[in-house]
Structure 1
Amino acid sequence: MKLLKLMLTYIIFMFMFFSGLIVFVLNRKHLLSMLLSLEYIVLSLFCLLFFYLSIVDYQSFFSMMFLTFSVCEGALGLSILVSLIRTHGNDYFQSFNILQC
Structure 2
Amino acid sequence: MYFSGLVSFLIKYNHLLLLLLSLEFMALSLYYGLFLFLSMMDYEFFFSMLFLVLSVSEGVLGLGILVMMVRSHGNDYLMSFSFLW
Q: Taking structure 2 as the reference length, what is the TM-score of the superposition?
A: 0.94
1:93 aligns with 2:66: no
Cα gap change, 1:19/1:99 in structure 2, threshold over 3 Å: closer, same or farther? closer
Q: Which residue of 1 aligns with 2:28?
A: 43
1:36 alignment partner AA: L
* % same residue: 56
Q: After superposition, what is the alpha-carbon deviation per residue over 1:9-67, rounded to whole angstroms, capped at 9, x for unaligned?
A: xxxxxxx0000000000111110001000000000000000111111111001000100
Aligned mates of 2:51, 2:5 — CA distance in 1 = 18
Aligned mates of 1:28, 1:44 — CA distance in 2 = 20
1:95 alignment partner AA: S
Cα gap change, 1:99/1:49 in structure 2, threshold over 3 Å: closer, same or farther? closer
1:93 alignment partner AA: L
State the shift of 1:98 in Å: 2.8
Structure 1 vs Structure 2 CA RMSD: 1.3
Structure 2 residue matching 1:21: 3-state secondary structure: helix
Structure with larger Rg: 1
Q: Which residue of 1 aligns with 2:44?
A: 59
Structure 2 residue matching 1:22: 3-state secondary structure: helix
Aligned mates of 1:70, 1:33 — CA distance in 2 = 17
Aligned mates of 1:50, 1:35 — CA distance in 2 = 22
1:78 alignment partner AA: L
Q: Which residue of 2 aligns with 1:18?
A: 3
